[in-house]
Amino acid sequence: MKAIPYGRQYISDEDIAAVVETLRSDFLTQGPKVKEFESKFAEYVGAKYAVAVSNGTTALHLCNLALGTKFGDKVITTPITFAASANSVLYCGGEVDFVDIDPDTYLLDIDKLEEKLENAPKGTFNGVIPVDLAGYPVNVERLRQIADKYNLWILEDACHAPGGYFIDSKNSRQSCGNGVYSDLHIFSFHPVKHIATGEGGMITTNDEKLYKKLKLLCTHGITKDPELLTEDHGGWYYEMQELGYNYRISDINCALGVSQLKRAKEGVSKRNEIARKYNEAFKNIAQIKTPFIADNTYHAYHLYIILVENRKGLYDYLRKNGIYAQVHYIPVHLQPYYRRLGWKNGDLPVAEEYYEKALSLPMYPTLTDDEQNYVIDKVLEFVKNEK
Ligand SMILES: *Cc1c(COP(=O)(O)O)cnc(C)c1O
């Protein structure tokens, strides 16, 4: 059997044809495919506005800029995420504070967050970046209540969760990225994520002011919009009104994105099927903890994370058998760079214990039954021999 990775993209013939069509068209960038991808993605997640950008990290950076993160600002996030969630605050000169994770969901612990806010002088913190780890949507309804009380913005890192949702207290379905409770949401289209464009990212929001600011910052802070211009020299005239960046995405990437988006919903439901099969296979195995699922959430399963006692043993055993499991994530606060900022072992014990045991098993829509059975057999074989 060929190697089984933890995640992989699925490129169909239709995807390839869509890209070729754009290559033959007039616009390789700043053309119609970018706008189409933005509007279709906004519709998919249920948001008013979407801004397509070069990747998930530049999306995070732009959001921090649009929210006004500056030197001395303090922003809270979770240590169990990809480093970019936290780094984006540092890009703007801000400081990151980590709050430990919930031992069940592995998401930012909202009780601990509240405790931290209560015990800090008023106005200490500016914002919070919750992360929908593995595809489990953060309960941003509850987070919003707390954020409002302490005057924080919410930038949701939803890279793992397009297609996920939770049911709020008014019994209404809140699709991840819909802009109802979070000010901004960001997504990535790196090939291991749900939708692949090579490199690519998206920001969604319902806030028109933030949307306009993001648009401006994404392309050098330059505008040609007659309503925004302060002078008019003629048809060529544009103004650079802010210090922006070139964080644009190309039409080639977006053509692939539009085509991929057609299969996105189906992909999430296939991921849920795969998760159910893993859950079933591991449900009576004492050494394995399967993912937590609440009644009111629909998991998008970017990752299928188990906790297992001898994680390194299992990782190595699977690897020897051609199964490339992965660990998500090494706690950000224990990375050498963050240690230099003062973080150390023991600061966030729940996250650190999670890291000792976490392993992401193969999870992607084209994982076949045979492949999954093989993965399950190898995992069970390992834990049986461990006894
Ligand atoms: C992938 C990812 C990012 C960064 O996205 P890129 O497109 O790789 O820059 C940020 N946060 C999380 C949680 C991610 O999984």
In this prediction the pTM is 0.97
Q: CATH code for 4-261? A: 3.40.640.10
- At 87, the amino acid letter reads N
% of residues, the chain, pLDDT over 90: 98
What is the whole-number distance in angstroms between the Cα of residue 149 and the centre of ligand 1? 29
- Per-residue pLDDT, 368: 97
Q: Confidence class of residue 126 from pLDDT cuts 50, 70 and 90?
A: very high
pLDDT average, residue stretch 120-125: 96
The strand ranges marked E within 68-115 are: 74-77, 95-98
For ligand 1, say whether the CB of 57 is within 6 Å of any of its atoms.
Answer: yes
CA 158 / ligand 1 centre spacing (Å): 9
pLDDT at 387 over 90: no
* The pLDDT of residue 359: 98
Residue 107: the pLDDT is 98
User: Would you mind telling me the total number of residues written for the chain in this entry?
Assistant: 387
The ligand 1 atom nearest the CA atom of 57? 9
CA 62 to ligand 1 center in whole angstroms = 14
- C-alpha 361/C-alpha 351 separation (Å) is 19
Q: Is 85 in the pocket of ligand 1 (CB under 6 A)?
A: yes
Look at residue 1 and tell me whether its pLDDT is greater than 80: no
| Ligand 1, pocket-test mutation among 138, 159, 197, 199, most atoms within 8 A of CB | 159
> Minimal CA–CA distance to 155: which of 219, 234, 103, 86?
86
Q: Could you tell me if the CB of 160 is within 6 A of ligand 1?
A: yes
CA of 281 to the centre of ligand 1 (A): 30
pLDDT reading at 212 higher than 80:
yes
CATH 3.90.1150.10 domain range(s) in the chain: 264-386
Give the tokens for residue 115: 């405790």
Structure confidence by residue, pLDDT tens digits, 279-322: 999 999 999 999 998 999 999 999 999 999 999 999 999 999 99
Nearest CA to ligand 1 atom 3: 56
Give the separation between CA 177 and CA 204, rounded to whole angstroms: 6
Residue 197 Cβ < 6 Å to ligand 1: no
| Ligand 1 pocket check for 82: Cβ under 6 Å | yes
274 CB near ligand 1 (under 6 Å): no
Q: Is 157 in the pocket of ligand 1 (CB under 6 A)?
A: yes
For ligand 1, is residue 190 a contact (CB within 6 Å)? Answer: yes
Question: What is the β-pairing status of strands 358-361 and 304-308?
Answer: antiparallel
Query: CB of 84 closer than 6 A to ligand 1?
Result: yes
Question: Which atom from ligand 1 is nearest to the alpha carbon of 60?
Answer: 10
- Residue 330 has a pLDDT of 98
Q: Where are the beta strands (DSSP E) in the chain?
A: 4-5, 49-53, 74-77, 95-98, 127-129, 153-157, 165-167, 173-175, 184-188, 201-205, 222-223, 239-240, 288-289, 297-298, 304-308, 323-324, 358-361
Mean of pLDDT values over 248-253: 98
- Distance from Cα 385 to the centre of ligand 1, integer Å: 36
Return the residue whose CA atom lies nearest to atom 4 of ligand 1. 56
Joined tokens for residue 383 = 């834990």
- Is there an atom of ligand 1 within 6 Å of 131 CB? yes
* Start and end residues for every CATH 3.40.640.10 domain found in the chain: 4-261
pLDDT band for position 2 (50/70/90)? confident
- 277/261 Cα distance (integer angstroms): 25
| Fold held by 264-386 | Aspartate Aminotransferase, domain 1 (3.90.1150)
Instruction: Assess whether pLDDT exceeds 90 at residue 235.
Output: yes
Atom 7, ligand 1: residue with shortest CA distance: 56
- Does 230 have pLDDT greater than 80? yes
Query: What percentage of the chain exceeds 70 in pLDDT?
Result: 99
Q: Which two tokens stand for residue 73?
A: 């600002």
Instruction: Place 386 in a pLDDT band, splitting at 50, 70 and 90.
Output: confident
Mean pLDDT, rounded, for 48-62: 98
- Rounded CA-CA distance 9/7 in Å is 7
* Overall average pLDDT of the 145-157 stretch: 98
The pLDDT tens digits of the residues spanning 66-104 come to: 999 999 999 999 999 999 999 999 999 999 999 999 999
